[in-house]
């Protein structure tokens, strides 16, 4: 059941049914906006997409295995560093994982 929920989240976001993975032009938003517009697909071996709320300092990550992680209290500078990093997997491991309150969804 958990896997089905994760697949449903991915399908909804990737297809743009919730408006979260596409920009107005209809293509995937990979620019790194932190405006709360939804999940953003990233280039990574293990991370599929991310969503950040600047107001809540809340970072949500969906990995390539459809696992969802939520990190609370993530400063915008950390999110911006992640989005700018050439190696997002390394940045995640060094600056996010086990550094902030983590829960799964």
What average pLDDT does the chain have? Answer: 78
Alpha-helical regions (H) of the chain: 2-15, 76-84, 88-95
| 4-8, 62-66, 90-94: segment of lowest average pLDDT | 4-8
Number of domains in the chain: 1
Res 2: pLDDT: 52
pLDDT tops 90 at residue 34: no
Res 43: pLDDT: 97
At 70-92, the pLDDT tens digits run 999 999 999 999 999 999 999 99
Domain assignment of residue 77, given as a range: 2-104
105 forms beta bridges with none
Structure tokens at 8: 């449903």
């Amino acid at each position: 059941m958990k896997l089905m929920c994760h697949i449903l989240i991915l399908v909804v976001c990737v297809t743009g049914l919730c408006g979260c993975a596409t920009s107005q032009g209809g293509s995937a938003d990979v620019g790194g906006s932190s405006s709360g517009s939804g999940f953003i697909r990233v280039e990574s071996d293990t991370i599929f997409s991310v969503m950040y709320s600047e107001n809540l300092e809340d970072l949500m990550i969906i990995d390539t295995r459809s696992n969802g992680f939520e990190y609370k209290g993530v400063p915008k500078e950390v999110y911006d560093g992640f989005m700018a990093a050439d190696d997002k997997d390394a940045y995640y491991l060094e600056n996010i994982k086990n550094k902030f309150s983590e829960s799964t969804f």
